[in-house]
Structure 1
């Protein structure tokens, strides 16, 4: 039974009156209940929809629901950004059901970020549709759908398909030809919880939506978007950036809401222990409670500790987090909704609108990182209009303590912007490749209309991932299904966690308990790590990188582990710079190397260190975006003159800046990384770096760069206002510091910031950008000139064929490289081919090429423009001839020709500067192409014979025919070399029977 209305108020009153906890209450706010405001749609509902509303006992709709419904019925794209429990389900289901009733052949695509949400929402849809005569059909199509059901759904698509981003990306778009009927009549795309599509995932999703709309256009449909979001500062902007469409915004809720309380607590005994005490008191009063934590490990620990102390309620508490098996999550959700469980301890996995029944109390163990997430989590309680409460228990982090000292700032602060960066070069490259695999890309395709993508396309061509057709106006993907290599959530490779049988703990790992991504695997499941799962403790035996598997076994221990490591950064490119206070601040592209070097064991109860164990794991290197600022030389000298710890001071500034940055950009502190160094070789002095913690970056640090003055000011304020003397987690300590927060000097950090604020900027230093390794010494001695930007969108190209414009732009981009190409100036080159006396089968395979013997060798010499003929006994003379050339060109020359020749001379062919065309092409495409196929499509000619025919001629003594054939092969190889050197590509026919270019650099 639900609690009486006064139970929540009684709970809050008891907390504030408690002799043990009252002094920990920083602030208490009460929000009165609000009444509903109703409205009527512009047009009356047709009978089927009116019947649905009657069956649901809905006599009136809220004004904001009516506003959204009217816009949808007019054909507008809308985004509804109203609080939880405001009736968004009716907003989109009613007009969709109306449209599907009017056109039974139409389709709708519903997308949810979590499978559990999908399960919830299809139940609602089916319940509504069941009240219609011959109501629309609906099916779930996701990773849990059986292969039999998938086949049936594809054969006869229902009116509505419910899915998630990963399945759209992996199961629909690559196989769109199997969904022609569905995409051809797709009328609506419903996207729920769109605020989750920010950062890395949002940047990916912008491309997924672009690819989806591209497929829809191909099949002749133009679907309407309906998006729903939690309250964020920029819902319309986010929807527009995700889809490239215009949107109408519905954001003022007119739904009723029960009274609620918000309490901030600054605990004395640690946030976890305080949360357990609050939870025990809530259970004793019958309050159904959700406890949110900031990490998987803390979720497990609090659940385990709370169960140990809960007495009769021991079995009424459960943990919930990502990484659990689907059946485990579903069981917990069902028990919560039914009331079998009274409390759940969760990560952000339960932040979204999954139906887990009516809850009364939300306890936040630590500030969630954003105002938006705080209110979103708090909105999980009081959904039945009864009185509810949210208690925020501060952690030791800088942001938590900032709001404990400045609670008014939280309540007056608007929610944050959702940030995405679809032009992230790593993300855009992956999806351009996917799009080209789904449908060939024309250069005027809307998906490519950003000048910033031209360099990405060029790079993909050079890497052999995109292949241009012979005319240069269309792009194909070289891989058939590149979608499999793209992780939308940016977490990298997934590792399976296998644990030994509890009945046989010394036996081999045999049961999966979930998954973990690569980055977390290094830090949470390294050898020796303590891993927690549903209250059970395991010790990790091995991290198998090759098999992507973690092996662990049950272990009863009273300690936990924390990874330690080192980081290094390299400046690759500077985007912008400016003066802030008395120093220079920069933003640009960085290369970060993160190395886990060991782990520290700590007592669970006291957090006392038990020692550090070294580890030998590979490093994680990635490119990203970041900001950095130099520490002036006079400041460093002043710090050292006062005998303060300079490295400890800048290390403290780094931690404090990262801790306070989420106030400025919508990010968790875990989305950002940092490095402080007393000497950075490129800067020529000390510097502090803050960067996006994901490959490619998502633009968070670039926003922080624009607001650098605010970042500096708030960082100083956070350090100065903290009452500690030497530094603590509330100001300059970081919970994820790889060096264990050593060294840290709070006094030095304030001195440095004060010095910078009051100083005049020093003379600007020159930052040395490291040059990429060149292919040869000549390139090192004379680096190529700077390349111009590629831009085919300029006004000069209007009315010009885009294929020609793109080719011209690319030519201009790579021309300096061509002019600098060492092969370009080497007119003193030779082209070599040989024929053998015996076949591979006769000598025991290609590995025994040295036994094949030489029937003849033909060398074209560019100096005299002649073909020179050699036989087996002339191999030393041939070798001597090769030494006179600047370059020797061949086709499979290194692995074949040289191997055959090496049996007949002591000469070392590896000393010859050689261009193996087959090796170069294989390096780009990942597969071989025959010389004959290249010649047919590039030169319009073909080989005069083949190797087997040449062997027959040898046995017949027809050496003249062999020489003629070999000379023809050398001529073809030479002409292909010259064509590739001049045009930067050769032509071949791919598996799809399209003539395409393979880029070459020789």
Structure 2
């Protein structure tokens, strides 16, 4: 395999560096550490102790296995020894991490005095209901949990957690670098909601963040919490030397990894193999076991989807030395204790310098030398580093980015926050301008409601109409969650997974092949209304890939600057994606088997993005060289997206792109790259700052690739909706070189018209309107149910006419006159008149009443709230006027022949409906009484 080694480098080890805290640790802690063989602290542990004990927030961003656990366990335990009522919350992204940390906590606590020994417990999805209740009612000093449990259990039921929250002194956030992108946007709101409730209960906890080595740990923690954080970046822990090997295999990367694994096993070296997918993890484990002879029982796969007991068994066998090798996805990238390892094999570049070092940090945990082998796939980033290894070693770790104010995500959390505790405009939570502005927008839209009748000098209260909205928020997705069901057996279908609505169009459309735990399923139905994806288990020899088209509108320009010889912009975009069909491709070889059309509604979302203007002069020169200009900017788009993970900690699947030879707002050709999720995740914000480096790296990737026409290592994209057509590698090189050699001094600022043509949603007041209500002769029971409203008959129909300001009454024998009158109106207004009144009238007259210009106030309110209200509720709250009777009373009066009373009652309903309409049209809102008995404001646009 020697000729396949693209690069070999030895990274020197380092000796330990120790330090003493400014103030000595308490005697019981010093004694406990001594019993564990720890006489001195590493320099970063001592620094963390100083800051945390002083109440300062810190982030320890040091390599794997540098002893970060003591940076928080020591100050937390010391606080608990001094104050037995003190509480701490430890948050981990994986359940297995919490198990490890509980073990480490208890080992140290067991050496402390029994009468003051701190206690700890895990509270997660595996905790039984009995123990959950026990933990809530009598919380230990430390609770180890995960973000989902905080969001779904602690925050919505905070009254049950009052003892814990009021005593909370520390919040530990482990592996904080994993909270980026979409999940980072969610966690930014979860932390703000948690801090809000801590303040409510009188607690002001100190945060301790732990992270892998990333480029912006302080910025990341500030984005997540809004807090100022002290960085601890230099590790004092010893480390052994490390051999870094870059291997560019002649054949399959998986086969090369298996050969390396066999060589390691033959030398009795304990090994971890990282794969990019669950499927590859299972396949390599299977292949390795078949070909490894006597080592067959000592190799195991490890990935998400395994049962908790399966994962714990693998971790224990690895730590005990029973297992010699484990093949894993990124699940073992984090600090789960599986003992000392010697060799790390990565099948494919993990996507970031940070993740490569993080995975490599799992080996050589003593001062022994270790080996990290990167086996390249044909992906653009893999091949870039095979050709430019020096760039890898000189490149600083990437920055983790998120958008803390993603409007799509923030809206859902603000509804949760208002359900947890009524919002008040003067509170700390609303002092961040972006949050305050968004709350006001949600009140205007009727998503949140302002409680009416505030006393002067009292802050207005804002409430949610949802009592428990939390379960509809998936912390790892951007949209609504859909359940993926297995309908193979019929009957009650088990749920085999979840997917957010945004990804569902691309990954679980009808006909899509979905993989789950080694089984293939074919999607039979995508039911957005029922929030369900229905599938059947089926063995197929193909996979699916969507085709479609995209367009984009520029909504707001947030920045522009010269980038060599062109302009680059950053701003808000509206992306419209139309999925037109899907390809079936053979599992073996990827041969196209056919294209199936799809009829799906367009996917429209707003996000953030950068775009490069490609001038008309560059286009003309490119075409003069007989190069395919559209193919060139398309290739530029693909290659730039492939290279962006060099600059930002992301995956190319989190990004989208559009290249167009003529964009009307840019007034010329443009290449757009955008965050591929609604609201944006902060990814392209940093791309704008590093636009010049992105252009240079993209050009270097294209020119350095040995292919002639373009390949997956440079300009082909695995998720291109047009099947990588058209693509012209040489045209992309021409365009990028033209940009690179241009004169930035010649680039002047340019205005972009963001005033898109559209429809004015503000409804003009009608010149002449009528308000309609009817009373029937018979009840639903008498005619056979509400579905037979056409048989109910009319006792009286009352119409208010805005032209003469008078009421007009029509009995059943005057339906022609009623129809004639209704036709004269610019707008017919009622309360449930479209569905009910017109159904009754339709049984008496052939006219199509629904063809009239209608405004049904019940429908409008239902669309705002998601549930129906009675007219009496709205009238009482808005006008302080109630109904004089009800429909059942009117039916009795009909039987008694009292048409006069019926007419008086019907006229009052018409007058109330009219006055509610006029109040809403004049003020832009009405009022109603919610289920909590509060009078709240409901915005309307009548």
Q: Same fold (TM over 0.5)?
A: yes
**Larger displacement relative to structure 2 (519-528 or 624-633):** 519-528
Contact 1:592 1:624 in 2 (8 A): no
Give the equivalent residue in structure 2 for 1:8. none
SS across alignment from 1:982: helix
Give the equivalent residue in structure 1 for 2:581. 597
Contact 1:648 1:745 in 2 (8 A): yes
**Residues 626-664 of structure 1: CA distance to partner in whole angstroms, max 9, x if unpaired?**
222344344444444444333322221111111111222
Deviation at 1:462, TM superposition (A): 4.8
Residue 977 in structure 1 maps to residue 917 in structure 2: yes
Deviation at 1:833, TM superposition (A): 1.7
TM-aligned CA distance change 1:116 to 1:497, over 3 Å: farther
TM-aligned CA distance change 1:309 to 1:603, over 3 Å: farther
Residue 877 in structure 1 maps to residue 817 in structure 2: yes
TM-aligned CA distance change 1:548 to 1:864, over 3 Å: closer
Residues of 2 paired with 1:872 and 1:527: CA distance? 51
**Residues 351-394 of structure 1: CA distance to partner in whole angstroms, max 9, x if unpaired?**
10011221111112222221111111111111133221111222
Contact 1:136 1:159 in 2 (8 A): yes
Deviation at 1:598, TM superposition (A): 2.5
Residues of 2 paired with 1:357 and 1:530: CA distance? 38
Q: Superposition pairs for residues 36-47 of structure 1, below 5 Å?
A: 36-47=16-27
Give the equivalent residue in structure 2 for 1:831. 771
Residues of 1 paired with 2:599 and 2:62: CA distance? 46
Quick one: which of 903, 907, 920 aligns to 2:860? 920
**Larger displacement relative to structure 2 (632-641 or 242-251):** 632-641
Quick one: which of 611, 620, 627 aligns to 2:610? 627
SS across alignment from 1:174: coil
Contact 1:831 1:973 in 2 (8 A): yes
TM-aligned CA distance change 1:618 to 1:870, over 3 Å: closer
TM-aligned CA distance change 1:539 to 1:963, over 3 Å: closer
Contact 1:664 1:707 in 2 (8 A): yes
Contact 1:365 1:394 in 2 (8 A): yes
SS across alignment from 1:748: helix
**Residues 588-642 of structure 1: CA distance to partner in whole angstroms, max 9, x if unpaired?**
31224263732443454xx362634536474654332222234434444444444
Count, aligned residues: 926
Contact 2:166 2:203 in 1 (8 A): yes
Q: Superposition pairs for residues 850-889 of structure 1, below 5 Å?
A: 850-889=790-829
Residues of 2 paired with 1:895 and 1:608: CA distance? 53
SS across alignment from 1:703: helix
Residues of 2 paired with 1:475 and 1:307: CA distance? 60
Contact 2:10 2:244 in 1 (8 A): yes
Give the equivalent residue in structure 1 for 2:729. 746
Contact 2:657 2:672 in 1 (8 A): yes
Residues of 2 paired with 1:522 and 1:286: CA distance? 48
Residues of 1 paired with 2:54 and 2:390: CA distance? 42
Residues of 1 paired with 2:767 and 2:515: CA distance? 66
Deviation at 1:772, TM superposition (A): 4.3
Give the equivalent residue in structure 2 for 1:390. 372
Give the equivalent residue in structure 1 for 2:457. none
TM-aligned CA distance change 1:877 to 1:440, over 3 Å: same
Deviation at 1:215, TM superposition (A): 0.7
Residues of 1 paired with 2:511 and 2:311: CA distance? 27
Give the equivalent residue in structure 2 for 1:822. 764
Residue 707 in structure 1 maps to residue 707 in structure 2: no
Contact 2:523 2:533 in 1 (8 A): no
**Larger displacement relative to structure 2 (885-894 or 563-572):** 563-572
Contact 1:497 1:549 in 2 (8 A): yes
Deviation at 1:429, TM superposition (A): 1.0
Contact 1:122 1:162 in 2 (8 A): yes
Contact 1:323 1:515 in 2 (8 A): no
Residue 323 in structure 1 maps to residue 265 in structure 2: no
Give the equivalent residue in structure 2 for 1:614. 596
Contact 2:478 2:678 in 1 (8 A): no
Residues of 2 paired with 1:767 and 1:300: CA distance? 52
Q: Give the TM-score of the pair, scaled to structure 2.
A: 0.92
TM-aligned CA distance change 1:219 to 1:450, over 3 Å: closer
**Residues 516-543 of structure 1: CA distance to partner in whole angstroms, max 9, x if unpaired?**
6667776667777777677x56464756
Deviation at 1:208, TM superposition (A): 0.4
Residue 451 in structure 1 maps to residue 391 in structure 2: no
Residue 716 in structure 1 maps to residue 670 in structure 2: no
Give the equivalent residue in structure 2 for 1:83. 63
TM-aligned CA distance change 1:911 to 1:599, over 3 Å: closer
Give the equivalent residue in structure 2 for 1:93. 73
Q: Superposition pairs for residues 656-667 of structure 1, below 5 Å?
A: 656-667=639-650
Give the equivalent residue in structure 2 for 1:689. 672
**Residues 253-303 of structure 1: CA distance to partner in whole angstroms, max 9, x if unpaired?**
111112221122222224222212111111111111111222333323333
Deviation at 1:544, TM superposition (A): 6.2
Residue 648 in structure 1 maps to residue 631 in structure 2: yes
Give the equivalent residue in structure 1 for 2:933. 993
TM-aligned CA distance change 1:162 to 1:947, over 3 Å: same
Residues of 1 paired with 2:892 and 2:812: CA distance? 18
Contact 1:300 1:533 in 2 (8 A): no
Contact 1:945 1:965 in 2 (8 A): yes
Give the equivalent residue in structure 2 for 1:952. 892
Contact 1:603 1:610 in 2 (8 A): no
Residues of 1 paired with 2:367 and 2:681: CA distance? 39
In the alignment, structure 2 segments of 5+ residues that lack a partner are: 455-459
SS across alignment from 1:955: helix
Quick one: which of 470, 495, 519 aligns to 1:483? 470
Give the equivalent residue in structure 2 for 1:731. 714
Residues of 2 paired with 1:553 and 1:950: CA distance? 58
Residues of 1 paired with 2:580 and 2:262: CA distance? 38
TM-aligned CA distance change 1:910 to 1:525, over 3 Å: closer
Quick one: which of 106, 109, 120 aligns to 1:126? 106
Deviation at 1:331, TM superposition (A): 3.2
Residues of 2 paired with 1:766 and 1:322: CA distance? 46
Contact 2:57 2:229 in 1 (8 A): yes
TM-aligned CA distance change 1:423 to 1:964, over 3 Å: same
Deviation at 1:165, TM superposition (A): 0.4
Deviation at 1:434, TM superposition (A): 1.0
Deviation at 1:455, TM superposition (A): 5.2
Give the equivalent residue in structure 2 for 1:812. none
In the alignment, structure 1 segments of 5+ residues that lack a partner are: 1-20, 501-505, 776-816
Give the equivalent residue in structure 1 for 2:265. 283
TM-aligned CA distance change 1:594 to 1:301, over 3 Å: farther
SS across alignment from 2:172: strand
Contact 1:462 1:924 in 2 (8 A): no
Give the equivalent residue in structure 2 for 1:71. 51
**Residues 877-932 of structure 1: CA distance to partner in whole angstroms, max 9, x if unpaired?**
12212222222211111112222223333332123212111111011111111111
**Residues 857-887 of structure 1: CA distance to partner in whole angstroms, max 9, x if unpaired?**
2222222222222222222212212222222
Quick one: which of 324, 328, 342 aligns to 2:324? 342
Residues of 2 paired with 1:954 and 1:497: CA distance? 53
TM-aligned CA distance change 1:202 to 1:470, over 3 Å: same
Contact 2:647 2:690 in 1 (8 A): yes
**Residues 12-36 of structure 1: CA distance to partner in whole angstroms, max 9, x if unpaired?**
xxxxxxxxx2222232222333221
**Residues 451-483 of structure 1: CA distance to partner in whole angstroms, max 9, x if unpaired?**
334553344335432111115822111111111
TM-aligned CA distance change 1:644 to 1:455, over 3 Å: same
Contact 1:572 1:769 in 2 (8 A): no
TM-aligned CA distance change 1:885 to 1:470, over 3 Å: same
TM-aligned CA distance change 1:523 to 1:892, over 3 Å: closer
SS across alignment from 2:372: strand
Deviation at 1:685, TM superposition (A): 5.4
Give the equivalent residue in structure 1 for 2:239. 257
**Residues 952-987 of structure 1: CA distance to partner in whole angstroms, max 9, x if unpaired?**
222222222222222222221111111111111111
